[in-house]
Amino acid sequence: MARPSKINSGPRHHALAALIASGLSLLLPANQAQAAGYRFGTQSAAGEGTANANGAEGADASTIFANPAAITRLSGWQFSGVLDFVKPNVRFTDQGSTIALPGSGFQPVPISKAGESQSPTNSVVVPHFYGSYKYSDSMAFGVGAFVPYGAKLDYEPSWGGRYNLNSVELKSFAINPNIAWKPSQSLSLAFGITAQYMEGDLKRATPYGSAYAAGLLAAAGQAAAGGAPGLALQLRQQAAKVFGDSAYDGSVHVSGNDWGFGTNLALLWEIDEQTRVGASWRSSISHKLKGTGDWTQPSNLPPEVLAAITGKPGDGHSKLDHNDSGASLNVKTHDSLSMNAFRQLDSRFAVMADATWYRYSTLETLRINFDSTAAPSITAEHWKDAWRVSLGGNWKVAPALLLRAGVSFDKSPVDTVYRSPALPDSDRTWYALGANFAINKQASVDLSFGYVKLKDAPMSATDDAEGVVPCSCAYSTVRGNYESSAKTVGVQLNYQF
């Protein structure tokens, strides 16, 4: 087989920068289907039983997450330990994914079979812990340790979106101490600080067949200019053959982690013995995820192609291309504002509501800075602010048994045009049932069950940096539709010392 004497990587010359950039960006907008955006939407079984409508109830220490001002209603030492089981059901059906090579004159090549389907999700079990102490009639302390964000998606290696994403896992946990103060009999105020850890891991395929084809086309152009049309034709035919061939796929593995810090404020106004309203604000948290990009090239690449991919560019603006490199990503998570209300109708029935606004629009773009002298890479996200509205109720069936129910409507921050394989997100409705069993005067157990249904989510995501050039994109387009739902089960032990 004839090979080019010189590789002209064209728009792919900075592939290291772009793929690490897009890879790190995908660490965040991942989703387990039960909450919009990349929130992990279950932090309390008591709350889950009402679809998170119980922010103003203040029944146990898990209120630290929803409204920490309500810990002034608790007595003595309180502990709540939560275990959440989430079983997402996300099915993607391919509708014809392709890869292109701009400037080559080639038509996009299919990289999947239309109609193929798969489920990239797995069940997860997540713990949360809360504790509070009533220091005096006017002061209480509390601390929560919970998971604010988290997801895991694992697609088949050969699926049509492999150049966008093969797998992603997001892990996080937060430690949130609070102090609550009652300046009057009816008003409670709370202030807290959050220390949050975030860790992400991503893998995606790299289409080295495109770089191989680009080099063959460059050599064909040289041959044609040198008066060898036959050789030029042969090289162009070879380029058409290797372009889109998955046998020349490599991969990149990106990981990063960081600690970040934020604050929260809350209030609870007890209008009378039966009625209370509250508000809770959590700040955004800034992270600088520091990570690495580990590259794997296929063994069947010609030496000239491999040298161009891993060699040092001559433009003076970058370090080594597809050699392992460090990178960092500045991330600012959304802040939120919740308004909640609780009304005890009589000795048996209570109703409650919550409306939470999320300032997702902080995620407009993601800027990647590299340890090398490579120019920063910017990835557009275009998230929009969104609301979640929850309604719930309690029914005291017997002295030792309380039943719960609720429903919530959660708006997605992602428009259809920006939907990606890492965030197959859409508007959702959550139906919830729960119960609280009093074991004795000190201990009780909460159980909850939730069913979350998402609207169908069509996707046509092209890896082209929205036309920014020069671009080191794969120029692949993954097309298909997501059908998603989730089941949640929560168990919570409450104990008063």
pLDDT in tens, 209-261: 998 998 899 899 999 899 898 998 999 999 999 999 999 999 878 788 999 99
Residue 1 lies inside a defined structural domain of this protein: no
Least confident of 40-44, 296-300, 378-382: 378-382
Q: Model pTM?
A: 0.84
What value does the mean pLDDT take over residues 74-97?
95
Q: pLDDT at position 368, please?
A: 59
CATH number of the domain where residue 150 is located: 2.40.160.60
Q: Is residue 5 part of a domain?
A: no
- Rounded CA-CA distance 358/292 in Å is 31
List pLDDT tens digits, range 388-446. Answer: 999 999 999 999 999 999 999 999 998 888 888 877 889 999 999 999 999 999 999 99
Q: What is the mean pLDDT of residues 167-175?
A: 87
Paired tokens of 391: 């309604």
Tokens of 222: 């040289």
In this predicted structure, the answer to whether residue 318 has a pLDDT above a threshold of 50 is no
Choose from 136-150, 283-297, 355-369 the range with maximum mean pLDDT: 136-150
- For the chain, give the percent of residues with pLDDT over 70: 86
Q: How confident is the model at residue 79 (pLDDT cuts 50, 70, 90)?
A: very high
Q: Is pLDDT larger for residue 405 or for residue 2? A: 405
What mean pLDDT is reported for the chain?
Answer: 85
**Structural domain includes residue 45:** yes
Domain range for 250? 10-496
How many domains is the chain partitioned into structurally? 1
Higher-scoring residue by pLDDT: 434, 295: 434
**Does residue 306 belong to any structural domain of this protein?**
yes
| Residue 43 banded pLDDT, cuts 50, 70, 90 | very high
Q: What is the token pair recorded at 287?
A: 């992270």
Task: Report how far Cα 347 is from the mean position of its chain's Cα atoms.
Answer: 42
For residues 261-288, give the mean pLDDT.
96
Q: Is 97 inside a domain boundary?
A: yes
The predicted structure's pLDDT at residue 25:
35
At 370 the pLDDT is 56
Q: Is residue 463, in this structure, part of any structural domain at all? A: yes
More confident residue, 485 or 377: 485
* pLDDT tops 80 at residue 310: no
Instruction: Write down the pLDDT at residue 313.
Output: 54
Scanning the structure block, which residue is given the tokens 């509390």?
142
Q: Classify burial at 465, counting beta carbons within 10 Å of its beta carbon; exposed 0-12, middle 13-18, buried 19 or more.
A: buried
Is it the case that residue 176 has pLDDT exceeding 90?
Answer: yes
Cis before 29? omega within 30: no
Looking at the domain assignment, is residue 396 inside a domain? yes
pLDDT over 70 (residue 120): yes
> Residue 255 has which token pair?
């990981």
Which residue, 490, 497, 474, 86, is CA-closest to 252?
474
The string of pLDDT tens digits covering residues 325-356 is: 787 777 788 899 999 999 999 999 999 999 99
Please tell me the predicted confidence (pLDDT) of residue 314: 45
Spatial separation of the C-alpha atoms in residues 415 and 459, rounded to whole Å: 10
Q: Lowest mean pLDDT of 158-162, 209-213, 371-375, 389-393, name the range.
A: 371-375
Q: Is residue 2 situated within a structural domain?
A: no
Neighbours of 467 (CB within 10 A): 7
